[in-house]
Amino acid sequence: MSITDKLLSLYRIDQQIQGLTSRVNAARRYYETQQRQLTDLESRRNAAHTQARQIAATAANLETDVKGLDARIEELRKRMNEAQSAKEYKAVLTELNTVKADRERIETEAIESLGKVDSMNVQVAEIEAEIEQRRKVHDVAAQQLEKEQGEIASRLEELKTRRVEAARAVPAEAIAEFELLARRNDGEAMAEIVEEDRRRQEYCCGACNMTVPVELVSVLLSRAAMANCPSCRRILYLPEELRDDFDRRLAGRS
C-alpha cells in the first residue's frame, strides 16, 4: 500500500466520523436555539413582572395620598361649617376646591396605574403561556440530542479506534501534512483526480477543478510518491474506477 492509499483509508474514516457527528451537531444547534429562545422569553417575563410590581406600588402610594386628601377635605368642611365670617368661609372654600382638584387628579392617576398593572399582568400571562409552549419544544430537542448522541456513541468509538490504527500506518510527516490540510479545508484533506478528456490526457482536481498535469497522474499510478494539487494543495488520489481503467488500458496495450 502506498502512502496515498494509507492516507485515503484514514480520510474515509474521517469522512464517516464527520457524517456521524454532523447529524448530532445539527441536533445540538437546534437544541441551543430552543434554549436561547426560552431564556429570552424568561427574561422578558421577569422584566414585565418587575414592571407590573413597580406600577402596583406606585398605585398603592397614590391611593394612600387620596385617603390623606379625603381626611383633609373632611376637616376643611368642618371648618367651613364653623366659620366665623364670610371672609373666613371664602378662604376655606378656596382651599377646599384646590384640595378637591388635587384629589381628583391623583385618583385619576391611581386608576390609570391600576389599569396599567392589569395590562402588564395580561402580558406576563401571555409570555408565561409562550414559555410553556417553548419549554415543550425545548425538552423534545434535548431528548433528541441525547438520543442522537447515544446512537452514534459506540459507532464513533469504533471509528476513532480504527482511525488511530490507520494513522499509525502512515509516516508522521504525511500525517502532519494531512492534518494541516484537513484543518485548512474543513476536513477535506484529499481530493480525487477527475478525468476530463482521456484522449487529450486532461485531468483536474475534484475539489478545486483546476488542471492537474498528467505527470502527477503517472506518479499516482506508479504509487511512487504522494502528489498534491498544484492549486489547492490537497493530497490527490486516483479513484478506484480510474485506476482500474488505466490498468485495463495498459493490459490491452501489452
Binding status of residue 208 toward Zn ion by CB under 5 A: yes
Q: Given the rule CB under 5 A, which of 8-16, 46-54, 181-189, 223-231 is the region that contacts Zn ion?
A: 223-231
Phi and psi at residue 200, in whole multiples of 5°? -90, 5
Beta bridge partners of 228: 235
For Zn ion, the closer CB: 148 or 177: 177
By CB under 5 A, residue 232 contacts Zn ion:
yes
3-state secondary structure of 227: coil
CB of 16 to Zn ion, least distance (A): 23
Question: CB of 53 within 8 A of CB of 73?
Answer: no
| Distance in Å, CB of 241 to Zn ion, minimum | 19
Angle between helices 3-81 and 86-168 (to 10 degrees): 170
229 binds Zn ion (CB under 5 A): yes
| DSSP letter for each residue of 71-92 | HHHHHHHHHHHT-SSHHHHHHH
Closest CA to 62 of 19, 16, 113, 96: 113
Q: Is 205 in the site for Zn ion (CB under 5 A)?
A: yes
DSSP code at position 215: H
- Written as nine digits, the cell of 207 is 475539489
Query: Stretches 76-84, 91-99, 109-117, 226-234: which one binds Zn ion (CB under 5 A)?
Result: 226-234
Closest by alpha carbon to 163, among 26, 25, 155?
155
Site stretch for Zn ion (CB under 5 A), options 32-40, 77-85, 91-99, 229-237 = 229-237
Instruction: Name the minimum Å distance from CB 210 to Zn ion.
Output: 5
Strands 202-205 and 211-212: antiparallel
Question: Contact region for Zn ion (CB under 5 A) — 25-33, 151-159, 179-187, 231-239?
Answer: 231-239
Angstrom distance (rounded) from CA 126 to CA 122? 6
> Cα separations (Å) of 166 from 1, 81, 129, 184, 190?
12, 108, 54, 21, 15
The contact mask relative to Zn ion for 156-185 (x = CB under 5 A, - = no) is ------------------------------
231 makes contact with Zn ion (CB under 5 A): yes
Task: Closer to Zn ion by CB, 20 or 208: give it.
Answer: 208
Q: How far is the CB of 188 from Zn ion (least distance, A)?
A: 10
Stretch that binds Zn ion, among 72-80, 89-97, 171-179, 225-233 (CB under 5 A): 225-233
Name the site residues for Zn ion (rule: CB under 5 A).
205, 207-208, 229, 231-232
